[in-house]
Chains A and B, each alone.
Chain A
Amino acid sequence: MENLRQSYVFRNLAIAFAAVLGIAVAVYLGGEVLRKLNLLETAASDNVQWTLSQVEVEFLDLDLATKSYMIGDIDDLDVIRREFDIFYSRIGTLSEGDLYLGLRNETTFADALATIRGFLEAAVPIIDSTDSEMEADLPELSRDIDAIRLPVRELSATGLTYFAEQADMRRGETADTLAFLAAVTLAVLSALALVSIVLFRVNRINVQRAATIEMSSRRMATIVQSSLDAIVAVDRAGRIIEFSAAAEEIFGHRKSDVVGRDMGEIIVPDALRGAHEAGMSRYRETGEKRVAGKGRINVEAIRADGTVFPVEISIQSADSSDGEIFVGFLRDISRRVAAERELVEARDKAVAGEKAKSEFLAVMSHEMRTPLNGLLGTLSLLKDTRLTSKQADYVDNLQVSGDLLLSHINDVLDVTKYEAGALTIKPVPTDLSALVQNVVDSQRDLGSEAGNTIQWRWVGEPLHHVMTEPMRLSQVLINLVGNAVKFTQNGTITIELLAENTDTGADLTILVQDTGIGIAPEDIERMFQDFATADTSYGRARSGTGLGLGIARRLVTALGGKIGAESELGEGSTFWVRLPVTLAAPVGKTRETAATADNHHAERRNVLIIEDNEINRIVLKDMLLAEGHRVTEAVDGLEGVDHAQQQPFDLILTDISMPVLDGIAATQVIREKHGPNHTTPIYAVTAHAMPDEINRFLQAGMSGVLAKPINRAELRKILASRQLEPTQQSTQTVIVNEKSVEGLRRDIGIETVSNLYRKFRTDASTILNDMSEHPPQTDPRPKIGHLSHKLAGSASIFGAEEFVQSLRDIEQDATSNEDTTLILKKVEAAKGVWKSTEAVLDRAFKE
């Protein structure tokens, strides 16, 4: 295409060149012809033939006049004289005239002329003499005249021949000139023809181009005018050169009003005009384009009526005959933005509604668990008293009902907890068969009450150890089996496990089949929604909150699997769970026996209870007393702080919601005051199990949470914790207490702990540096004491035992005004301890 085009251009150029050359030649030749014609026009000759013949005529006249006088025919000598003069004049003309220059070069002519001139010169004295003298000389003159008859003859004859040749030559020249003229005419015509061809071609091309350009510009105009997006083009200076119909509609300006004006003044709102002008001048100075060619951008524009609205713009630069121009495509997105805003508002409302629901549930569970806590606690105390067997049966029944109620409340709490994002999965090597067996064991009693048999088996090759979260998976299976038991009477519940190997491990399918009443297919989907219950079930005691399957669904999703059910009314149901699992090597028994706190015989502790609810306070006190601990009671936060100021405790248990001073504020006061309990572990005893609340407790300086209703085992675990060991007895300090780490991860979730830890790590570095820096001439010890105390409180939360130990040591030294140099050395040593602590904690919390 390009080659063709080039050769085409070359050919046209060649033709044009030939035409120009032809014209130049024609002009030159035409000039030549004109010159020659001019020469022809200005005749160089007289009628020479006549002149030459006149020589003979006049010679004969002279001869005749002379002879006539001599024979007496005439008697006037003047006649002879006149004829002589005429002849003389004629010969003079031939001798002098330029006309005869060529002729005079002819030898014959020149000789004859010389002879005649010789005669004339010789005759002049005779002619000019008196009549008598002349008459005497006449015979001699007549003889002389006769003597030149031949030369006169020769003169005219030679002249005629010469001029005839000249005439021939002249005719030839004329013919040549005419031929030349014809050739020139032909050349001119050819050149004109070539020029015509070139002009015709050029014209045709121009017409085609003009048509193409007009068509494309018309097409462009149509595109511009019919585009739904506004199209605005500006020149380098930012002046509008195009303003489409859509632009007129969107901006409310008429094209004729805005063309030639600065775009910034027309469509850029005041707030953005500065930036726009800065951008334009930057472009003019440096050529840098920040917006053009950078795709779609959302900005704001202004209409003629002053309303500012959002637009999506895309600007491209283009070269035009007037230099670079910018073409902007602008789309009015105010509706879209409004729709988005509505969506966001709707979502925010929904989220807020969800949050309100969660909060409501949390509050409700708290309100329900507080009296339940009292009820169950009292029951367990009642069981320890002397009862009749009937009374013991009643207490047992109460215990069963209470436990069931508690499990419902726990379900609700689970849901709210998972909604709040606390559901994190930490896969560990798990023996699947053992897990399923445990689930079956736990449900067997419940199942047999309804006459059901529960069994389980592997279908095909069993899997032994896989990576999964055993607690969550157990919970799912308990929910499914519990559900099956609820809707089956005198039937069989079968758990089948099926493993299919995959590239990364295996797909595990667990089927829980029952022979119960079944579910209508249209209800199956609904089963997995929160608070969904089927219309009928066996026995009121088995009715539930309807949260079980919803929780199971959440857990399975968190584990990366799917859950579903197939059922027909009256035909029983099959619930299935599919989980991708990776295989794990079998592990030893060490982990399973990790929690041995139950068996650990606890030291006798001095415990402060801060609780406004009398029943709860009594229950807690009695539990502690039963374990052999000492108890001090406070009815609100203020009283608790007072007690804490007076004597040291090994442990402080505090309620959160209390009149006068709540648990959080009380904890802060105890931590901030340099009383005997500023490092004592403080546990929140609360039904507030929400993760962000736990964060608040920890930030306030609490060491952990003891959930209501109080579980004796948990309480024992806390009392047996090494944190509570008196410092002087702590002979086997570790860098980081793994149990603390484990407990933090389990109780408040790894994400929250990681966040807390990051904050703590930053604080630790800052505080350690502050401790070693102090103004000269001042006593640094109060500051060091305060800072080490503060840091130890935070560090203890993360189980950084060695670090806490070294900080307490420093604090002790500082408060007892030990030597400053020694203290500063210990601070430096603490920095070293922090380094190793930090390394361990980084591994534990930085996920």
Chain B
Amino acid sequence: MSTTQGTLSGKLALVAWIIFHPLAAGANDLQMPTGDVVLSVTGNIAATNDGNAAIFDEDMLRALGETTFETTTIWTDGVQSFTGVSLKDLLDELGVDNGTLEARALNDYAVEIPVSDAVDGGPIVAYARNNNAMSIRDKGPLWIVYPYDSNDDYASETIYSRSIWQLDRIDVQD
């Protein structure tokens, strides 16, 4: 399992970026996306780069750390390998440690995820399945996936409903 390693390398990268980046005057500033924006986070967050919002392209997400696990899902056939940034790393980056996330998908599916779900070994914001980037047809580009097989607690309808695919927006609420 590369979760810890990924998280650690993500943190080291962040530390290195804060120390060596010329514009790192304030901790609340994020890098600006250079590619297509895949995720925008609004609401009660400490770090922003687009007004009150934090917007990310895929490279920025990859830079936050890479967590990979294998699991089956009720929506797919057979064991799948998911790679992405752990929800915890993402929220740490945004300075979020409590409250509720209102996640929305391209098809306007919306679900509330408590911040407390974001733990080590917990859900990730996946950007690759079986080492391939996910297209919209393939529930991409982002999919919040829980390691269903490693924890029976994740085999519940609530968790299934929180497993939002085609994710593009998160609003952090108190």
Contacts and interface: CB of A to CB of B under 8 A. Distances in A.
Interface string B111-152: 000000000000000000000000111110000000000001
A47 B161 contact: yes
Contacts of B109: 54
Contacts of B160: 43, 45-47
Given A85-B135, A93-B75, A98-B72, A46 B156 contact: no
A86 B166 contact: yes
Nearest to A44: B74
B155 interface: yes
Contacts of A384: none
A352 B64 CA distance: 135
Interface in A552-571: none
Interface residues of A, number: 23
B107 A93 contact: no
Contact of B74 (A82, A92, A97): A97
A42 interface: yes
Nearest to A43: B157
Interface residues of B, number: 22
B155 A93 contact: no
Given A43-B155, A43-B156, A54-B107, A82 B75 contact: no
Please indicate which of the listed interface residues A41, A46, A85, A89 has the most CB atoms of chain B within 10 Å of its own CB. A89
B82 interface: no
Contacts of B77: 96-98
A86 B75 CA distance: 15
Contacts of A96: 75-77
B76 A97 contact: yes
Nearest to A84: B137
B136 A85 contact: yes
A386 B138 CA distance: 190
A42 B166 contact: no
Contacts of A47: 157, 160-161
Given A97-B76, A99-B74, A99-B75, A88 B157 contact: no
B152 A42 contact: yes
Pick from A42, A47, A86 the residue with the most CB of B within 10 Å. Answer: A86
B54 to A, nearest CB: 23
A58 interface: yes
B165 interface: yes
Contacts of B152: 38, 41-42
Interface in A78-110: 82, 85-86, 88-89, 92-93, 96-99
B107 A46 contact: no
A84 to B, nearest CB: 8
Nearest to A124: B137
Nearest to A90: B107
Nearest to A91: B137
A391 B109 CA distance: 186
A92 B135 CA distance: 12
A147 B137 CA distance: 21
B153 to A, nearest CB: 9
Contacts of B139: 89, 92-93
Q: Which 8 A-B pairs have the closest CB atoms?
A: A85-B136, A42-B155, A97-B75, A43-B157, A88-B137, A99-B74, A46-B160, A96-B77
Interface of B: 72-77, 106-107, 109, 135-139, 152, 155-157, 160-161, 165-166
